[in-house]
Amino acid sequence: MDATSQKPALLLIDDQKMVAELIQHKLSSHPDIVFNYEPVSQRSLETCLRLNPTVIIVDLVMPDLDGFGVIRLLRSHPDTALIPIILLSSEEDPEIKARAFAEGANDYLVKWPDKRELVARVLYHSNAYLAHKQRDDAFRFLRESQHELLTRTEQLAQSQAALQQAQKMEAIGQLTGGIAHDFNNLLQVINGNLELLKFLNDSNDLAQQRIASAMKGVERGAKLCTQLLAIARRQPLQSVIIDVAKLLSGMKELLHRTLGNAIRIELDIEEGIWNTAVDTGQLENVLLNLAINARDAMEDGGTLTISARNIDAHSNEKLLADSASDHVLIEIADTGTGMSPEVSIGLLSLFLRPSR
C-alpha cells in the first residue's frame, strides 16, 4: 500500500478481549484510526504481515509468548522490523521499561492511560512511521527513475550509433555502386576495342595471345565490379551452380593480398565436395569479411584455415536444425583470440545446400 494513502492503523496483541474493547472505546472519537485485534500472541507476525499496521500495542503478560517475545519476533522479520511497537504493562517498573527498549520497543504504556494520551501516542508513532515510508518510497521511485532514464539513454545512444553506422554504410554503398558502374562502363569500352583488335589481327598469333591476356584482365575487372555491386547491394542475387573447391582455391590469392604476409592461409577441402547453387558475389563477400575479422583477431600473425566438407542428411553430425537434407559446410578457423570456441563455431560456419 502507498504510504501517502494509508491511514493510521493500530494492531492490539493481547489475550484479554476486555482490553481490546477498552482501547477501541478510547479510540472511538477518532474514526480515522483503523483498529485491529489479535488475541493469540503466536500469530502476531502472521497477522501483522496481513494487516500492515502503522503501530502495534502488545501486552507484556500473555501465555506461551509474552510481550518481549512478540517484540523479538516482529523485529526479526524485515517487513515488520520498523513498525513502531508500544509495550503495555500494568507496572511502572524501570527495569521492565529498560528491557522493553532493549528488545526493540519504541514506547511504553502503563495501564490505563488517558484516552488523549493514548490517541496522541498512537498518532505520533503512526505519522512518524508513515513519513518514514513516504521517504523510502520517494527514494525508491527516484532510484527506479534514474535507472530507467539511464537505460533509455543507453538505448538511445546505441540506436544513434546504429543509425550513424547504417548511414555510413549507405554512403559507402552508394559510392561503391557508382564506382562499380563507372568502372564497368570503362571495361565495356576496353572489351569492345579488344574484340575489334582480335578481329583485325586474326592472322597474328602473337597479337591474339596478348589480346586474350588483356581480355582475361577485363573479365577479372568485370568480376570485381560484380563484387562491388554486391557489397553496395545494387546487384540482384543470382544463384548459379558453382564448384566450391574451385571458388575457394581461386580466392586464396585475393585473401593473401588482403590479409598480408603475416597471415598464412591453408585450405582443407574434402575430396569430392558437392556443387552448390549460390550467389557467387555474396558468398565471396561473406568469406572475405570473415577472413578480415579473423585477421583482426591475429594481431601478431597466425594461420587462417578454410575447410569445406559434405554433411550427409543421415550423418550423426547434428549441425543444423534442418537435418533432413544434405549440406556443404564451409568453416573458417584462426589462431587468434577474442571469442570462445562455442561462439566462433556459430559465427564462422556457413551451410550451403548442394545442387545435383
- C-alpha grid cell for residue 233? 547491394
CA atoms of 120 and 280, how far apart (whole Å): 87
130 contacts 54 by C-beta, under 8 angstroms = yes
What is the overall mean pLDDT for the chain?
Answer: 81
Cβ distance 67 to 60 under 8 Å? yes
Cis peptide before 112 (omega within 30 of 0): yes
**Model pTM greater than 0.85?**
no
* Per-residue H/E/C for the chain: CCCCCCCCEEEEECCCHHHHHHHHHHCCCCCCCEEEEECCHHHHHHHHHHHCCCEEEEECCCCCCCHHHHHHHHHCCCCCCCCCEEEEECCCCHHHHHHHHHHCCCEEEECCCCHHHHHHHHHHHHHHHHHHHHHHHHHHHHHHHHHHHHHHHHHHHHHHHHHHHHHHHHHHHHHHHHHHHHHHHHHHHHHHHHHHHHHHCCCCHHHHHHHHHHHHHHHHHHHHHHHHHHHCCCCCCCEEEECHHHHHHHHHHHHHHHHCCCEEEEEEECCCCCCEEEEHHHHHHHHHHHHHHHHHCCCCCEEEEEEEEEECCCCCCCCCCCCCCCEEEEEEEECCCCCCHHHHHHHCEEEECECC
End-to-end CA distance of the chain: 70
Cell of 165: 553506422
Q: Which residues of 171-187 are buried (b: 16+ CB within 10 A; e: fewer)?
A: eebeebbeebeeebeeb
pLDDT digits (tens, 9 = 90+) for 213-235: 888 888 877 777 766 666 665 55
Condensed to tens digits (0 to 9), the pLDDT of residues 50-81 reads 999 999 999 998 988 999 999 999 999 999 98
Name residue, grid cell 601478431: 300
Which of 252-266, 305-319, 339-353 holds the top average pLDDT?
252-266
Q: What is the pLDDT of residues 126-169, one digit of tens each?
A: 888 888 888 877 888 888 888 888 888 888 888 888 888 777 77
Q: Which of 68-77, 105-114, 208-217, 339-348 has the highest mean pLDDT?
A: 68-77
**Reported confidence tier of residue 347, pLDDT bands at 50, 70, 90:** very low
- pLDDT per position as a tens digit, 84-101: 999 998 888 889 999 999
pLDDT of residue 87: 92
Q: For helices 17-26 and 115-200, what crossing angle results, to 10°? A: 90
pLDDT at 319 exceeding the cut of 60: no
Looking at residue 195, its pLDDT comes to: 83
Mean pLDDT computed over 12-36: 89
Structure confidence at residue 47 (pLDDT)? 92
